[in-house]
Each structure stands twice: as structure tokens, then as C-alpha cells.
Amino acid sequence: MMSESKIVEFLDDHLSIDEIQDESQNGMQVDAAGEINKIVFAVDVRKDIVERATEAGADMLFVHHGFIWGEGFGTLTGKYYQIVKMLFENDTSLYAAHLPLDIHPKVGNNVELANLLGAEIGEPFMEYKGTNIARMANFKEEKVVVEIAEELERKLDTETYTVGEKKTAKKIGILTGKGGQALEDAKNNGAELFITGERTYTTYNEAIDMEIPIIFAGHYATETLGLKKVKDLLEEKFDVETGFLDAKTTI
């Protein structure tokens, strides 16, 4: 068994929790007493996810999207009460890592998406709250955009939506999740293709106007990668059981 404090201390340090400004309250959001023997990972903290985590006997639930943002949720009512009640009753702690998990140079969602496609990791770009949150990457040879989209569909078990599917690209910009805000910066940095998760009407139109191909691969699917990497890391470093709670969605 490994004490909670050592695992949390490692995560806080490895993910630079205190150094990255974010709307999410990253790190431990709900504390619980006791040893950590089992950690389960999920993209979101929802009632059904928390229920599955507690039924699985998890001592900690590690999520990408926690439930404390900005100034917090105010009153502890409704779904927040139900979630916290389940966590308290089962002595399950909740740990969240949003931007720290997106941008990490080794286990982050952006670099893991590039690795999934066999692309060479490039420089970060697009500053947000003092930190560059998107990532450039390069293929050794040009690839057809539609073939890249098909590869993402296979490897992420997702559905993609593509603009400019017949074009080719060697240099790509990546921002997982709802990352359309980095589209213009990606093009300004020389990207011939931009890959993100969530498809929005605005970003779709901007891609057409800027004449840059874009692949929308799903908010959820593009943000499972970092979680699974951290899961494997903790299994290797600590004597702890882990699991991943899949909540597959095409959104």
C-alpha cells in the first residue's frame, strides 16, 4: 500500500499543478482519509462515473474534467451534493488535472495524440494565462488528411469530421478537447493541418475561411490519451491497482 500523500505529492510535482494557471481547480478536489490501493481514471466526473468508481472499490478517482472551476460551485446542492455524498460515503478522493494534463511534454494529451500518429513532437504554441497550451508536430512525409482522419478513427475508436480531406499535410497543430481557439495560431506557425476534438460551428467556418484543413476527432476521444498514460505511469511507479472507466461518446 502507498499512502495518499506520496501519490498526490508525486502527481502535483510531475504535472506541475501549482505552476499552471487554469480555470480548473487542479489537484485534489475532494480529500479522503486512508490508504490508496486502487485508482480509477475517467475523463469526466459525473454521477454515473462516480458510482462506477465507488462500486469498483476505488480509493481515488482521477479525472481530466473535475467539478470545481473558477470560484467553485457555490452551494453544495443538486448533482454536486450527490457526487460529494458518494465520494464521502465510500472514502473516495477526487483528483483533477485539466490544462496540466493537456500540455505535459511527456504524458499530455497533445503529445500523446502526436505520438499516436507517429509524428515528431514540435514546439508548444498559443499562450493562455502565461502558458503555451497547443503543440506543433511533424510527419516525416506528407500524408493525405483523410488518411490521418481514418487512422484517428481506428486508434481512438471515434468518429471524425474533416474539412479539406483531400489535401496533404506534413506540419500539424494540435489542441485536444475544445481547441478551436488555436486554429489561427496554428496556421500562423506554419501548420498545414489542425487537429482538435470538439466540432464547433465557428471553428468549422474559420477553417474554411483560412483554407486550412481540420480534423475534429471528438472532445472525449482526444482526451483519453493523457489519462491512460498517467495510469500506466502510476502502475509502474507505485504498488497500486488502476483502472480506466470508459464513457465512450462521439462528442
Q: Is 243 a member of any domain?
A: no
| Pair (197, 122) in one structural domain | yes
Tell me the C-alpha distance between 181 and 234, whole Å: 32
**Is residue 250 predicted with pLDDT exceeding 90?**
no
pLDDT digits (tens, 9 = 90+) for 184-210: 999 999 999 999 999 999 999 999 999
- Which range of residues forms the domain containing residue 199? 102-222
| Pair (114, 214) in one structural domain | yes
| Pair (54, 119) in one structural domain | no
| Pair (115, 207) in one structural domain | yes
| Pair (114, 67) in one structural domain | no
pLDDT averaged over the chain? 95
| Pair (74, 14) in one structural domain | yes
Q: Give pLDDT, residue 73.
A: 74
pLDDT digits (tens, 9 = 90+) for 72-110: 877 889 999 999 999 999 999 999 999 999 999 999 999
**Is residue 112 predicted with pLDDT exceeding 60?**
yes
Q: Is 20 a member of any domain?
A: yes
Q: Is 60 a member of any domain?
A: yes
Q: Give the contacts of 21 (CB within 8 A, at least 6 positions apart).
A: 99, 129, 130, 131
| Pair (73, 122) in one structural domain | no
> C-alpha distances in angstroms, 216 versus 1, 110, 238?
41, 14, 36
CATH code for the domain in which residue 16 is found? 3.40.1390.30
Tell me the C-alpha distance between 128 and 214, whole Å: 21
Q: Is 237 a member of any domain?
A: no
| Pair (76, 167) in one structural domain | no
| Pair (26, 54) in one structural domain | yes
Tell me the C-alpha distance between 70 and 93, whole Å: 20
| Pair (127, 218) in one structural domain | yes
| Pair (109, 79) in one structural domain | no
Overall domain count for the chain: 2
Confidence of residue 1 (pLDDT cuts 50, 70, 90): very low
**H or E element, residue 28:** strand 27-30
Q: Is 245 a member of any domain?
A: no
Among 82, 97, 112, which residue terminates a domain? Answer: 97
Q: Is 239 a member of any domain?
A: no
> C-alpha distances in angstroms, 151 versus 130, 146, 148, 166, 216?
33, 9, 5, 15, 13
